Structure 1
């Protein structure tokens, strides 16, 4: 599996450069917005700390596990499935800022590549990262500037709308054509698979409208509802846990 991953990397260097640019842009947006919010709110916090690094790693691992539990939807073809792997990133971003959310998304993709490799020449991984960040960044950036429950709900609604719009356009203009070229299948074949699951699908645009749009609305909606109800409790727990280096830990006997 690892050898296959390295071979795929060697064959897609140009594509990976584009991937790296997108990743760098996501981090730049997150860092700039987080610093600006801290300045406006008069908060001084390190961009990375031991606590944040531990949370990012833990939440990324949880995201990978959640990614394994994909749910088929009755109104969409089998290649569109629902998972909640963006949920830990959204909770992490609300608790520790936009950069933490982007880091969780990034580490999640790295872990997925190490565990499962890539069968899509990184097309699927890039889409996963971009669409995830299009949900996490708008929601967490808005919330970072004003941390109230109402603003949390508003930011999640906006994030859901952004992921729906970007996900739909990305499928129509990039993902479906990319998979068509990758697998040597005409786009009409994907439309046909969509028509088998949903009678309303007759073209690439109706495939997007009746399958991709509701999928992203459901995904964003579920992630948002869970986050709004639990992030405060989780945030309090995470921010009160003390991480002590092993060399400084004392035994009960001491």
Structure 2
């Protein structure tokens, strides 16, 4: 009996070590991707797309929602330590919004490991991401940035890209909401294209 218990414990430790290694690799990859910011002319200049949610979503599909959260957390900690341009506020918002996307997507997919399950998971994830984006920007990022730049200047900068933006509410509605929808859609499409090729390696 003791030998069986020991063997089980060793297998559990090996599995945990493998999972930790995979999470670490995906976290570093997500951090590297996060450094590449893509500007979009039809959005305010301070909104740039990074595709760092892709490794977290792939990790969530393969290893579960806990791994997805861990990847988002480590990615943002690395970014905070190396860049630290917003005092952690940007990283906090990125973690919350990114986690709101990958967690429901991975939970739904793991319960229904089909193409339909993946698509449904990512659609729900995008909707969750949009809702969390509204909350995070209204209560975290915009109040932070107004300490350095008046809201009217932020609105004016945003209106240059979209004339429908005239106040904080329209900024969120016409900039942050479509931005997160676009970002979630792009991440979902790329993940869908590469997940089946990468999942055997991760498994």
Please indicate, yes or no, whether the TM-score normalized by the shorter chain is above 0.5. yes
Whether the 8 Å CA contact 2:101–2:129 is kept in 1: the answer is: yes
In structure 1, distance between residues paired with 2:77 and 2:135: 25
In structure 2, distance between residues paired with 1:171 and 1:163: 12
Report whether the alignment pairs 1:210 with 2:177: no
In structure 2, distance between residues paired with 1:62 and 1:111: 11
In structure 1, distance between residues paired with 2:23 and 2:40: 30
Q: Of residues 190, 204, 221 in structure 1, which corresponds to 2:154?
A: 190
Per-residue deviation, residues 109-136 of structure 1 (Å, max 9, x unmatched):
12112222x2322111110111110101
Per-residue deviation, residues 75-103 of structure 1 (Å, max 9, x unmatched):
22111111101110000110111111111
Per-residue deviation, residues 49-98 of structure 1 (Å, max 9, x unmatched):
22211111111111111111111111221111111011100001101111
Report whether the alignment pairs 1:80 with 2:47: yes
Q: Of residues 63, 68, 89 in structure 2, which corresponds to 1:96?
A: 63
Whether the 8 Å CA contact 1:75–1:211 is kept in 2: the answer is: no
In the superposition, relative to structure 1, how do residues 174 and 238 fare at CA in structure 2: closer, same or farther (>3 Å)? Answer: closer
Instruction: Quote how far apart the aligned CAs of 1:170 are.
Output: 2.0
Q: How big is the alpha-carbon RMSD for the aligned residues of Structure 1 and Structure 2?
A: 1.8
Q: Of residues 194, 197, 200 in structure 2, which corresponds to 1:230?
A: 194
In structure 2, distance between residues paired with 1:229 and 1:119: 33
In structure 2, distance between residues paired with 1:230 and 1:149: 13
In the other structure, the counterpart of 1:177 is 143
In the other structure, the counterpart of 1:69 is 36
In the other structure, the counterpart of 2:165 is 201
In structure 2, distance between residues paired with 1:238 and 1:67: 21
Whether the 8 Å CA contact 2:100–2:129 is kept in 1: the answer is: yes
Task: Could you list the structure 1 runs, at least 4 aligned residues long, displaced by more than 3 angstroms after superposition.
Answer: none
Q: Of residues 15, 22, 47 in structure 2, which corresponds to 1:55?
A: 22
> What TM-score do the two structures reach when normalised by structure 1?
0.71
Unaligned 5+ segments in structure 1 are 1-44, 240-254
Report whether the alignment pairs 1:157 with 2:123: yes
Unaligned 5+ segments in structure 2 are 1-11
Whether the 8 Å CA contact 2:96–2:136 is kept in 1: the answer is: no
